Structure 1
Amino acid sequence: MMAVVTTGTGGYDTLRIDRVPVPRPAAGEVLLRVLAAGVNNTEINTRLGWYSASVTTGTQGAADAGADLREDGGWNAATPFPLIQGTDCCGEIVAVGQGVDAARIGSRVLVRACMRPHGFDAPDTLWLGSDFDGAFAQFCTVPATEAFAVTCDWSDAELATIPCAYGTAENMIQRAGIAAGNRVLIAGASGGVGSAAVQLVKRRGAQVIAVASPAKHDVVRSIGADHLIDRDADPVAALGQESIDVVIDTVGGAGFGARLDVLRRRGTYVSSGAIAGPLVTLDLRTMYLKDLTLIGCTGWDAPVFPSLVSYIETDEIRPLLDRTYPLDRIVEAQRDFQAKRHVGKIVLIPPA
């Protein structure tokens, strides 16, 4: 089969289009024909070794660093290179391993990218495309329990926009306890996770204040944002001190402190990323004098993915698909992703 094999940390030259054996499903697994695979920051970050503590810049800065990249920069320490990346997978079950009902063959499924191998009471995570081979290929194998059948009229590419971005956003929203009437500030609202959060927060009846570049305001407003502010604006000047109940942040960087300043007393800050930079300045007085709650989110809780599937099937959310590329044009797709001119998701389509 055709696959994109990432050979190690580094630039685009580490992405090799190769012919590799089709994997065979082990007991308890299913073999998927990959129908579509979304592009995420995490694949670029892993290729760059950005998760290493030795990398202190944002994703773009890490890309420019070149020789300073580190092999220990995976989600769970060292990445098992060579690796087929691809965290978002929409696929069709074409074979099953021992112990899996053969009646599942033919089902179109979404894969829960964040797996909890020791159960949801344990903190361990296992990520498709980061800890084992993922969806940047014509076929992949996953545990049968992580493949969720979805009944809807969405295209394969539209379904592939969901797993990582919407799972991450829904997990943050559930952890933060966002409810009707809350005022929620979403940083990076035009990206995959941010645009998902806009829809998922609105679904709960909360008010969305979205941060995005002016060129993207109309699109972000069309998916539910109540108020838009420029990503370069001072949120305190735009919104006022203590005006927000919850901040959802995947950006980090220099704007971190101002995002805490706009939180009300006993407000909540929740983060799942730091594309503008992982090192921030925290004034502990702001945190403790305002009784703030700061939540880091990576591992998805049990209700997250079943909830997303139900939202799709009841037409409560819609995909935000920017464009698609053939799988063998992954370098072009990742370059365009890094340019940040898109809104929503970029998706790769493997050959049939």
Structure 2
Amino acid sequence: MTVPETMRAVRVTRHGGPEVLERARLPLPAPRQGEVLVRVAAAALNNTDLWTREGAYGRPADPRALSGWRGPVDFPRVQGADVAGRITAVGTGTPGNLLGRRVVIDPAIYDGTGPDAHPVGLMGSERDGGYAEYVTAPAERVHDMTASPLTDDQLAALPTAYGTALGMIERGRLREGETALVTGASGGVGIALTQIARARGARVIAVSSGPKADAVRAAGAHEVIDRTRDLTGQLRAAAPGGIDIALDVVAGGLVADGLPLLREGGRWVVAGALGGYDLTFDVRRLYLRNTRLIGSSMHTPAHFGLLMDLARRGDIRPPIAAVFPLEEAARAQEELARRHHIGKIVLRPGS
């Protein structure tokens, strides 16, 4: 298969607003030993794209410091963690039978080689990502989705949002028949949590704004409560017996208010801080009822494999909110930041 010598890309040049995204013509990346070259069919946007561009992650010693996901960003950087496409070239030591395969890339950079390794970096942050016509990836991190009934846009929507959701559900050990609270339910991770928790046989109580309630119900929520009203009062009415597990991407004051609503042995799993990261809660609510507060960052290789199995069977179908050509990446990020949409926003480099 013939590939060009250069490619179109959009990269971030420094921390700042959408204006720091620049269009560029770059040399085609060459796959190194053990890597593959993927022609990008679709690249989905995530909040991590916004926060990496803004430098909003902070550092352990200085929560307000400009920083990427795991520290300083090596600018310029091609963003984009979520990629679906086809393998067009392979590096030395990589099986040639991968050529032409339709794949999804696991974007995580792990701290080890085992199935339970932790993510310590991310494509689009610690290495170049999918805001481009081509991207390289380790061969062991590409998953063959040739037989999946999902579209390229839907496949690209999976890695970060659905991987994060499945990581939360696996780490929280959600069981069939349990009552699960999902916060931020109309966002990418929230929709994924709702779909997967429902598929696991949980009773799902979702928190969203009124205008988006119907879409959240369509994703599988049994009940939707309005985040603009008395949340704890609504939760007590919706789950008078308490909550088994909270799948939370909002945090903030909701953690302190919600911990007392957990049943004996309940779990509160946090994978985001849209509502604030600096909070205070009564620690007695943890130990007196044997509850657990669990931090969850993305997924493990084992979690990602489970996610790809779901996608091959078509058991999950991410909703797509909008599609933009690659050159309009800045406008796409602006649309993402407005949070008026439901589902994923996708870039198509071929458009």
Q: TM-score scaled to structure 2, two decimals?
A: 0.92
Question: Which residue of the other structure, out of 127, 130, 138, is the alignment partner of 1:135?
Answer: 130
Q: Distance in 1 between matches of 2:230 and 2:10?
A: 41
Cα deviation digits, residues 75-108 of structure 1 (max 9, x gap):
2211111110101010110000001111111111
Distance in 2 between the 1:51 and 1:238 partners?
32
Question: Do structure 1's residue 14 and structure 2's residue 20 form an aligned pair?
Answer: yes
Q: Aligned partners of 1:93, 1:235: CA distance in 2, in Å?
A: 47
Deviation readout 1:227-281 (Å, 9 max, x if unpaired): 0000123332112276100001111223221222321122100011112221122
Aligned equivalent of 1:3: 9
Contact 1:242/1:265 (CA < 8 Å) preserved in 2?
no
Q: Is the 8 A contact 2:90 2:99 kept in 1?
A: yes
Q: Describe the shift of the 1:273–1:282 C-alpha distance in structure 2 as closer, same or farther (beyond 3 A).
A: same
Structure 2 runs not aligned, ≥5 long:
1-6
Are residues 1:196 and 2:195 paired? no
Which ranges of structure 1 fall in alignment gaps of 5 or more residues?
57-69
1:265-320 Cα distance to aligned partner (Å, 9 max, x none): 22100011112221122221222222220111115223211111111122211121
AA at the equivalent of 1:334: Q
Give the whole-Å Cα distance in 1 for the aligned partners of 2:274 and 2:100: 38
Q: What corresponds to 1:119 in structure 2?
A: 113
The aligned residue for residue 146 of structure 1 is 141
Mapped contact 2:225–2:235 kept (Cα < 8 A) = no
Q: Kindly indicate whether the alpha-carbon contact (under 8 Å) linking 2:119 and 2:297 is maintained by their aligned counterparts in 1.
A: no
In 2, distance between residues paired with 1:263 and 1:242? Answer: 9
Deviations 1:168-205 (A, max 9, x none): 00011001000111100000001000100001101110
RMSD of aligned residue pairs (Cα, Å):
1.5
Deviates more, 1:318-327 or 1:181-190: 318-327
- Percentage of pairs with the same residue: 39
1:255 corresponds to 2:249: no
Relative to structure 2, which stretch is displaced further, 231-240 or 220-229?
231-240
Q: CA deviation at 1:142?
A: 0.4
Shift of 1:124: 5.4
Corresponding letter in the other structure for 2:199: R
Counterpart amino acid of 2:217?
Answer: R
CA contact (8 A) 1:235 1:262 kept: no
Name the CA distance, whole Å, in 2 between partners of 1:216 and 1:124.
32
SS in 1 for 2:82: coil
Query: In structure 2, what is the equivalent of residue 39 of structure 1?
Result: 45
Does the aligned pair in 2 maintain the 1:115–1:146 contact within 8 Å?
no
Structure 1 length-normalised TM = 0.92
Aligned 8 A contact 1:234 1:258 in 2:
no
Instruction: Return the offset for 1:115.
Output: 3.0
CA offsets 1:107-161 (integer angstroms, 9 cap, x no match): 1100111232522355452311111000011111000000101122322111111
Please say if 1:75 is aligned against 2:69: yes
CA distance in 2, matches of 1:31, 1:122: 24
Alignment deviations for residues 32-71 of structure 1 (CA, whole Å, 9 cap, x no partner): 1111001100011111111114455xxxxxxxxxxxxx44
Distance 2:209 2:246 in 1: 18
Q: 1:220 aligns with which of 184, 192, 216?
A: 216
1:182 aligns with 2:178: yes
